[in-house]
Amino acid sequence: MRMRNSSRSEHSELGDAGRPPAILVVDDEPGVLDMLSRALGPTFEVTASQDGAEAVRQVEKGTFAAVVSDIHMPGMSGIELLRAVREHDADLPVLLVTGQPSWEGAAQAIEYGVFRYIPKPFDLPTLRQTVTQATQLYRLARLKREALSLGGIAAGPSDRAGLEASFERMLASFGMAFQPIVSLSTKTVFGYEALLRSSEPSLPHPTDVLEAAERLGATKRLGRAVRAFAAQRGSQLEHDWLLFVNLHPSELLDPDLTDPSSLLMSMASRVVLEITERAPLSSLEEVRERCSELRRLGFRIAVDDLGAGYAGLTSFAILDPDIVKVDMNLVRGIEGSAIKRRLVSSVLSLCREMDMLLVAEGVETPAERDVLANMGCDLFQGFLFARPASSFYQPAF
């Protein structure tokens, strides 16, 4: 059931000068709903709704500057409504009113980005003031987002519910790009690194996605989705090309990685698992054992981003890698840096001694390639050879 106290169709959610901002009031008790609508009516353009699902449909119209809702309602609760609102709008302020306040309820509401958690009874002038403030801040948030997008920066979601919604959209729509790793001596492709590509505007870069997954405790879920995608495409690889897949260190212990029914497992001998040096390894002994198991199953292991993250030799001792990928920090401008040359040259001879292959990442110029090649480096990855692409592009030499 829906009650309106006036036509709202010509109103903007920003509450243009002379027009009251449009708000949505949700309560399952008709008496309370009526009371709230009347109390807020003169100040705001009120749309009243008696249940959460109906309220969500209203919010989707995108005309409101704030939502005031009861928490305890049959069907959809106020918290669920809040989450649904976040899927639609990262900023829209939601004020939750409750007759049964609790710390747990408040904590949950805050986590999902409630604007105010209001225990009953409350006085109406204060509520009116709070809703006014909410609509003003909403206007500000919209302007900020607009300003950021003008500067080419997508404003990330600011609360958990918004982040969850962004993350779900990303999971439903992400793709992967493949960048060749080439052998200069044989002038052939050695393998392809599978790289996550997000089309979700609020999580544009793989690092944003990873950060979001970490904040949401969803790295395992992300890892599974990425591995399934990479395996699906990687199963189309021709010749003896290898598939390089990035793994967050925490994914190493995921049982799914060695599930015999997984596609990636079935092609283990053609897969290189890249473990970044940017994140610390936890439960070292467990990781060490797991790596030997993975290697027994046919996987190869690479240390990724060497020179970009944690110093020391821990990752080598624990992972016992087959391949080392030198970060582009060390590659960039190596022809002009004696320090970088000495460093990479030492890593190269160490790799030879330890029977590991070295990949130079992020090679962009012929000068970088030539200096590295003269040191004895053979495997290269970088824009100079090929950018990541949706298909398995073979560069010409």
Q: Which residues bind Mn ion (CB under 5 A)?
A: 246, 274, 304
Residue 3: burial class (beta carbons within 10 Å; 0-12, 13-18, 19+):
middle
Residue (of 242, 247, 314) closest to 274 by Cα position: 247
Phi, psi of 328 (to 5 degrees): -65, -20
d(CA 13, CA 10): 10
Q: Taking CB positions, which residue lies at the least distance from ligand G?
A: 382
Which of 27, 164, 200, 304 is in the footprint of ligand G by CB under 6 A? 304
Question: Measured from the CB atom, is 120 or 205 closer to ligand G?
Answer: 205
Which of 303, 305, 315, 319 is in the footprint of ligand G by CB under 6 A? 305
d(CA 244, CA 2): 55
Question: Measured from the CB atom, is 50 or 246 closer to Mn ion?
Answer: 246
d(CA 108, CA 104): 6
- Specify the stretch interacting with ligand G by CB under 6 A; choose among 96-104, 118-126, 310-318, 381-389: 381-389
- Specify the stretch interacting with ligand G by CB under 6 A; choose among 42-50, 139-147, 234-242, 360-368: 360-368
Question: Measured from the CB atom, is 23 or 306 closer to ligand G?
Answer: 306
Question: Measured from the CB atom, is 70 or 208 closer to ligand G?
Answer: 208
Within 237-266, the residues that bind ligand G by CB under 6 A are 246
| Contacted by 231, from Mn ion, ligand G, none: CB < 5 to 8 Å by type | none
Helices 366-375 and 338-353 cross at an angle (nearest 10°) of: 40
CB distance 235 to 253 below 8 Å: no
Q: Under the criterion CB under 6 A, does residue 122 sit at the interface with ligand G?
A: no
Which of 78, 223, 321, 382 is in the footprint of ligand G by CB under 6 A? 382
Q: Under the criterion CB under 6 A, does residue 388 sit at the interface with ligand G?
A: yes
CB of 197 to Mn ion, least distance (A): 13
d(CA 357, CA 324): 6
Question: 34 CB contacts (<8 Å, ≥6 apart)?
Answer: 3, 48
**Residues near ligand G (CB under 6 A):** 179, 195, 246, 304-305, 328, 361-364, 382-383, 388
